[in-house]
Amino acid sequence: MLDADFFRRWMTATAALVDREAERLTALDSPIGDADHGSNLQRGFTAVTAALEKEAPDTPGAVLILAGRQLISTVGGASGPLYGTLLRRTGKALADAAEVSPEQLAEALRTGVDAVRTLGGAAPGDKTMIDALVPAVDALGESFAAARDAADEGARATTPMQARKGRASYLGERSIGHQDPGATSSALVMTALAEAAGE
Ligand code: ADP
Ligand code: MG
Ligand code: MG
């Protein structure tokens, strides 16, 4: 079973990975965006870890709702409301359980990803974070490691895609040949989840 501490570890591991990979995320956002994805998420997840330390939420749902709220209020870019919605809606779906099973997390995360799809209007193949998140959630029933690998593969598969949502879509065909920064950061979020689970 996964308790509030597990979810805290997931968020702090995400913050650490975002810190480590911030330059790469911003570099990916340079040819097909506005070169701020790494700094956007760094600001957001720094606020997440600070809030989690200060408020010490004691259920899985409360950890994710607090984290999501921080992302929405501190990240200016498109990714803030999208990741914020992902975490908040996943947290809401976990309600006030003190512990949840991996299956319950997989189901809740599916709700969260669906909310991101509704908010952003992106479908698989549009070259966004959805291209990493959907395969990850599909694989989560198997294991955390499988979800991490699926997200990674999903992120790499965005390279030949033409962007249909977000800033990169303004480039039309010129968006082809670059890996999507948001799909790449989603793979980091799933890597952090596998780390928190010790996989
Ligand atoms: P901004 O584009 O506002 O500068 P970021 O650079 O932080 O925001 O985030 C860009 C990423 O957000 C993209 O790489 C993409 O994965 C994701 N994104 C943008 N628009 C959408 C959308 N409508 N649906 C899903 N993801 C999106
Ligand atoms: Mg950007
Ligand atoms: Mg921006």
How much distance in Å is there from the Cα of 78 to the middle of ligand 3? Answer: 7
Q: What is the pLDDT of residue 76?
A: 86
Q: Which residue has the tokens 């570890």?
A: 9
**pLDDT tens string 52-89:** 999 999 999 999 999 999 999 999 899 999 999 999 99
**pLDDT tens string 98-149:** 999 999 999 999 999 999 999 999 999 999 999 999 999 999 999 999 999 9
Which pTM value belongs to this model? 0.98
Q: What is the ipTM of this complex?
A: 0.99
How much distance in Å is there from the Cα of 77 to the middle of ligand 3? Answer: 4
How much distance in Å is there from the Cα of 186 to the middle of ligand 3? Answer: 17
How distant, in Å, are the alpha carbons of 48, 116, 151 from that of 9? 12, 23, 19
Q: What is the pLDDT of residue 52?
A: 98
**Residue 167: CB within 6 Å of ligand 1?**
yes
Cβ count within 10 A of residue 142 = 13
> Which residue ranges form the domains of the chain, and what is each CATH number?
2-196 (1.25.40.340)
Cβ count within 10 A of residue 113 = 22
Q: How far is CA 68 from the centre of its chain?
A: 10
**Residue 44: CB within 6 Å of ligand 1?**
no
Q: What is the pLDDT of residue 159?
A: 98
**Residue 118: CB within 6 Å of ligand 1?**
no
